[in-house]
Amino acid sequence: MGCNGMASPFFPPNFLLQMQSPHDDDGHPPSSLSALLPGASCPTPQGFQGVATLLGSRPMSFSGIAEQDGEEAGAGGEDDLSDDCSQVGEKKRRLNTEQVRTLERNFELGNKLEPERKMQLARALGLQPRQVAIWFQNRRARWKTKQLEKDYDVLKRQFEAVKAENDALQAQNKRLQSEVMALKGRDAAEPINLNKDTEGSCSNRSDNSSDINLDISRTSAIDSPLNSHHGRPFFQSIRPAAAAAATMAHLLQNPSSRSELQCPKMEQGVVQDHENFCNMFCSLDDQSGFWTWSEQHNFH
DNA sequence: TTTGTCAAGAGGAGCA
DNA sequence: TGCTCCTCTTGACAAA
């Protein structure tokens, strides 16, 4: 059966033989394939059409072995053929396992079917070239469907990972905001005099704005985000909640310095300083709003 | 009888 | 213009 070894401009002489099942290593066509091509050792295109017609007219079991029933094989003569050599009223039949195996191996080599390869496969498998082309089309569609399913699974896993990370960050954000609120509550219960460096200078409060700045400079970590939050991304500096917590911790851990700030004669100044401190947290509130928006904005 | 799979039909788009 | 491909659909068939 020289057909399977026929030289091709596209494939080596034994190309199709290599596409056969592993037990065809001896170079002989598989017995099932021989059974597919009864009496057609090397069909010419015309002879091939006859074989294909014969095969197409044969009932084929799911195992793919054409039944060797002479009456069945002869059923439906040339008169019943349509233009594409298919039989009028012909029932669809599945390709046999050997044909499918060979087609699968060819598909693995390349999912696009060149005309020469189509003709060679059709001759070797006893199919019409159109059948081979249709099989490749359907196979590409199945491959694409499977690929879409894989891509969907990958994207789903990625989404779940990102969502988990987002949830963790949201929880952390809430926790930090609640800490800030708690610290603000403690601050309201214990007024703080920020004017500790200006003891005895209450009379010239209009001139000691630098004192306020000096105090705030101790919390320079939060100075920038508080005073310039309109101009740049907030996350370029320290997180305000953490900075505020550090500031509050510093002030609360130094009650002596805070008490020495208490000036009975400066209640007015203390009130104003307290207002400044509260304004700092009001700015913090603004920042936290900006912070929350930033995170939400990044995840939507 | 229903459901899933597969071969094949139909129609439109892209290309040389 | 013919060919090929893609997509959707149809019909046959086997299994549940």
Give the SS3 label for residue A81: strand
Distance, CA of A132 to C1' of C16, in Å? 31
Q: What is the pLDDT of residues A114-161, one digit of tens each?
A: 888 898 899 899 988 999 999 999 999 999 888 888 888 899 899 999
Nucleotides of chain C in contact with protein CB (under 7 A) are: 3-8, 11-15
pLDDT range class, residue A91, cuts 50, 70, 90: low
User: What distance lies between CA A169 and its chain's CA centroid?
Assistant: 21
Q: Mean pLDDT throughout A28-43?
A: 32
What's the rounded Cα separation, in Å, for the pair A92 and A26?
33
Q: Mean pLDDT throughout A163-167?
A: 97
Are the beta carbons of A94 and A120 closer than 8 angstroms? no
Q: Is nucleic acid strand C under 7 Å from A230's C-beta?
A: no
- This prediction has a pTM of 0.46
Q: Is nucleic acid strand B under 7 Å from A143's C-beta?
A: no
Q: What is the pLDDT of residues A48-65, one digit of tens each?
A: 333 333 333 333 333 333
Q: Mean pLDDT throughout A254-273?
A: 32
Q: Domains in chain A, ordered, with CATH?
A: 97-187 (1.10.10.60)
Looking at residue A177, its pLDDT comes to 96
Q: Is nucleic acid strand B under 7 Å from A94's C-beta?
A: yes
Q: Is nucleic acid strand C under 7 Å from A203's C-beta?
A: no
Least confident of A21-30, A100-109, A117-126, A176-185: A21-30
Q: Is nucleic acid strand B under 7 Å from A93's C-beta?
A: yes
Phi-psi bin for A29: left (phi > 0), alpha (psi -120 to 50), beta?
Answer: beta
Are the beta carbons of A135 and A95 closer than 8 angstroms? yes
Residue A20 predicted with pLDDT over 60: no
